[in-house]
Chain A
């Protein structure tokens, strides 16, 4: 499938909400020479989920599982945004009009443009909607 190249494997790590946990994760990734391209922390009462795009997801998964973390892969997509007012609206409108529900999202402002990472309920449909709507999806090869 043509769509496949746009699907990015994000790693999600279960973490207790207490000092030192993020450091433990980051240290493990450093030891393996893994680069973190984007990441976010979602927090609930007493625990959280660390989500990250890394350059070597399989290696990261093995390393973190090996030291006892609960790790899972999740498929996400990355959309390029114009780094100007209205940039987010443009993408959000396309998804809204296409009836795609965003489960969660995080963004970073890169050198050339801003990037929006999206976890949606239907990845395939989201890719078609964004492509048709004129949005620019980033290929997973750019990250991994």
Chain B
């Protein structure tokens, strides 16, 4: 589609979206009123910058479904992810939302060379997390045979990969490295003993080095995939050019902003990605601040597509950590620790990569009042904290008990994370 036609289509979709929200979403209506914007003020695509932002916390603050624009009877699916504090965030889908999500992934998978005859092993989590089911539907739509292995049980993953002749795998890049290592321990070379040729990798930041290592070692092509639950789930995928993921312009409008000033940045410059979902019904997202740092290009891609491309995520504007593909905020840890009387409110998070997998450790101080001479009591405290953190974060955490007063105290902005991962 020529660039001008795309822009005209985007403008029309934006206009419709804004009128719909102004009329049917009390949340966004109020937000527009306070920003002094009326739908009539949107007279060109550029006018999108007059619209107020949405952020992750908007979903949490309106838990569970208070900012949904569709009623429950029009929803056909929920997904749930952990929010920035103890409260989870819920996303909902109408039939059209699910169709668009599926279509977006179907287009992305076709663009990197998947189709009939391929077997895609979906090793993202199935269930409340969007990753597994999203890719599952997208791949089925284009006639790919799906092998829904979900996460974990790596040995079985490798056996099935061999027995069912998997040609592509969708998972986090670090999990694929882990699979590669485990395979070698089993005497299996992914490169020589399997049919794997494509990796659809995402849900965590990764570098050019990591990509090169995966491609060289495993003998596959590694494609970046991007999404968040707010956008629907995994959504956009790199094409065979491997030069950034295409953001389908009929579904989403992407901006890259200076995170400090909110000013729009030109192609090629690094800033915060802000996305407007042009067709979402149940949970429209307007100028959603992803918190992800990246840059975009809007020249015509080598594959011939005219949809803009966004490069691999290089970092975060906030303190969000991604541990084994799961978003973790230090505030969630803080909130959870407040529910355990035996430990203090000070903590440090240390993240390492052991082998290919992330290892998260939380150090907490034992309160004087709960110190017991008995090792078993102390072990029980530690187990309890580990258990609660695991439930709250959906990620396994090692807890270390330390002496009171030994963790750093902060004046002003606390830096409670030491991330030693090299990616």
Q: Which A residues contact B (CB, under 8 angstroms)?
A: 10, 12, 14-16, 21, 42, 44, 46-47, 49, 51, 65, 68-72, 74, 103, 119
Nearest-Cβ distance from residue A41 to partner chain B, whole angstroms: 11
A70's partner among B379, B400, B403 (CB-CB below 8 A) is B403
Say yes or no for B402: interface residue by CB 8 A criterion. yes
The answer to whether B371 and A14 touch across the interface, beta carbons within 8 angstroms, is yes
Q: Give the residue name and chain of the B residue nearest to A103 (CB).
A: B374
The answer to whether A15 and B403 touch across the interface, beta carbons within 8 angstroms, is yes
Q: Which of B374, B403, B404 has the most CB of A within 10 A?
A: B403
The answer to whether A68 and B403 touch across the interface, beta carbons within 8 angstroms, is yes
Say yes or no for B5: interface residue by CB 8 A criterion. no
Is chain A's interface secondary structure helix, strand, loop, or mixed overall? strand
The answer to whether A68 and B405 touch across the interface, beta carbons within 8 angstroms, is yes
The answer to whether A46 and B404 touch across the interface, beta carbons within 8 angstroms, is no
Interface string of B134-175 (1 = CB under 8 A from A): 000000000000000000000000000000000000000000
Q: How far apart are the CA atoms of A41 and B312 in the complex, in Å?
A: 51
Nearest-Cβ distance from residue A68 to partner chain B, whole angstroms: 4
Say yes or no for B375: interface residue by CB 8 A criterion. yes
Nearest-Cβ distance from residue A104 to partner chain B, whole angstroms: 8
Q: Which B residues contact A (CB, under 8 angstroms)?
A: 366, 368, 371-375, 378-379, 400-406
The answer to whether A12 and B404 touch across the interface, beta carbons within 8 angstroms, is no
The answer to whether B372 and A72 touch across the interface, beta carbons within 8 angstroms, is yes
Q: Give the residue name and chain of the A residue nearest to B370 (CB).
A: A70
Q: How far apart are the CA atoms of A96 and B378 in the complex, in Å?
A: 27
Q: How far apart are the CA atoms of A15 and B371 in the complex, in Å?
A: 11
The answer to whether A119 and B379 touch across the interface, beta carbons within 8 angstroms, is no
In the complex, what residues of B have CB within 8 A of residue A47's CB? 378, 400-402
In the complex, what residues of A have CB within 8 A of residue B405's CB? 68
Nearest-Cβ distance from residue A70 to partner chain B, whole angstroms: 4
Nearest-Cβ distance from residue B404 to partner chain A, whole angstroms: 6
Q: Give the residue name and chain of the B residue nearest to A70 (CB).
A: B371
In the complex, what residues of A have CB within 8 A of residue B368's CB? 65, 70
Known: A14-B378, A68-B404. 7 other contacts (CB 8 A): A12-B371, A12-B373, A14-B371, A49-B375, A70-B403, A74-B373, A119-B373
Leading 10 A-B pairs by shortest Cβ distance:
A12-B373, A70-B371, A68-B405, A74-B373, A46-B400, A47-B401, A44-B375, A42-B375, A14-B371, A16-B402
Q: How far apart are the CA atoms of A3 and B38 in the complex, in Å?
A: 85
Q: How far apart are the CA atoms of A51 and B375 in the complex, in Å?
A: 11
Q: How far apart are the CA atoms of A51 and B405 in the complex, in Å?
A: 21
Q: How far apart are the CA atoms of A56 and B111 in the complex, in Å?
A: 77
Q: Give the residue name and chain of the A residue nearest to B371 (CB).
A: A70
Q: Which of A12, A47, A65, A74 has the most CB of B within 10 A?
A: A47
The answer to whether A46 and B373 touch across the interface, beta carbons within 8 angstroms, is no
Known contacts A14-B371, A74-B373; A49/B401 CB under 8 A: no
The answer to whether B366 and A70 touch across the interface, beta carbons within 8 angstroms, is yes
Nearest-Cβ distance from residue B100 to partner chain A, whole angstroms: 49
Q: Give the residue name and chain of the A residue nearest to B373 (CB).
A: A12
Q: Give the residue name and chain of the B residue nearest to A43 (CB).
A: B375
A69's partner among B375, B379, B403 (CB-CB below 8 A) is B403
Nearest-Cβ distance from residue B123 to partner chain A, whole angstroms: 31
